[in-house]
Structure 1
Amino acid sequence: MGAEVDVEIEAGRLVRVGIRNGWRDRTDTRGLSEELTAAIRAALPEDETAPPPAEGDDATRRQVSPQRLREYMAMHREWMQRSRDYLRRSRAGEFAAAGADEVVDDQRHVAIFLDGGRFDSVALDPEWAGRATLQSLADTLLSAFAGVDLLGRDPGREEREALRRLDRQIRELVS
């Protein structure tokens, strides 16, 4: 959290903004914007699009019965088919995340920048912020962020999670 601000995020939404009295004595509007950006980023959960760590092979595997081997092969074929389908759909652009976006409030006092749909930064109009009350700053920020999903939901995430679950089931079947 920044020295001048603190925020609260719930379910990918900004729900509370606190700005300290006397912030203008310690920083300018750009500094306040940077502190807001840092506080929001710190409050967001980690980006979960990274692949899970690879699991190592266990050298002490037990013998697999013919029935379990058939189950394994069926699950493996399903995984291969689904992963090829995912790759085809991904190459066709079906899971492409949104590019950089900008959300600006009606009075043009607050600009919210998103990258791939995920929160990147916020900027305040210096002239307005320099004369706005603390309550006005907080209210305008909350209003500007009201419909903004800060997490940038990944459109291919469900498909990848299904593939990971199937992969775990396959590994558990033969472990």
Structure 2
Amino acid sequence: MAKPIKFYTRGFDESFLDRCDVRIAAFYQMWKSKCKDDTIPSRADFDPIEMVEFLPGITLVDVDKDTQSLMYRLVGTNEVAVRGKDPTGDSVQEHFHATTWEDTWENYSHAINNLGIVFDDLDMPNANGIIVGDETIFVPLAPDGKNVNMVMLYSIQREPSK
């Protein structure tokens, strides 16, 4: 019998910082350092050279401004390995890696419509069917500081809690 997926926590504010993996906290602090004058940073504010340690766990998702449909723009090598496939260029709704589309959309919707962060922590099966702990942070990106055109995710995997 397959072990059930266990949802631990979802947060929409900085309260996750006292319980998240140090890599998630470091990524969040890097993103937050780009938020100048209370505006959301754009993709252009991030230099891949300064993000080398995060790149394997990065996913960039394009947001259609009219329909809010989501498309994978870039999926890091670790994320591809966990999924067992590369969804770059595919619709998020058709190829999400989570429990349900409703849960997935709640995370993206918050980042897009509230210009907010989302921390999501749950146990998920990897490409080999092994349950691993998966922590993901969703952060909005906006070329004008307020209209989100992209969501950047950073995910790490760990041994799940018993």
TM range (shorter): under 0.3
Identify the structure with the greater strand proportion: 2
Higher helix share: 1
Who wins on radius of gyration, i.e. which is larger?
1
TM-score by length of 2: 0.25
